Amino acid sequence: MDLSEFVEGASVQTKKPHACGGDRWRIVRRGADVRIKCLTCGREICLLPDELKKRIRRTEGKA
């Protein structure tokens, strides 16, 4: 998986659920870090691309 898969607006599913119970996230911004937003509670977090690669199970709905 390379960084071109991290398209803004794409949905990703993480291996572990967020504290709210949701495991679906939307990529909001990418650059030196990647900002993702939980689709269940709306919380946004920033991760380095390498860290995001480790955490995601699959990418869906590329924009």
Which CATH fold topology does 3-60 show? SH3 type barrels. (2.30.30)
* Average pLDDT in the chain: 89
How far apart (Å, rounded) are the C-alpha atoms in residues 63 and 18?
A: 23
Q: Which two tokens stand for residue 59?
A: 């990418």
What are the tens digits of pLDDT across the range 29-52? Answer: 988 899 999 999 999 999 999 999
Confidence of residue 59 (pLDDT cuts 50, 70, 90): confident
- Residue 9: what residue type? G
The reported pLDDT for the residue numbered 62 is: 63
* Residue keyed to tokens 């480790």: 54
Segments making up each domain of the chain, as ranges:
3-60
Strand order in the sheet with 11-14: 44-47, 34-38, 24-30, 11-14, 56-60
Q: How far is CA 11 from CA 55, 59, in A?
A: 13, 6
Strand 44-47 relative to strand 34-38, pairing: antiparallel
Does residue 61 surpass a pLDDT of 80? no
The reported pLDDT for the residue numbered 14 is: 94
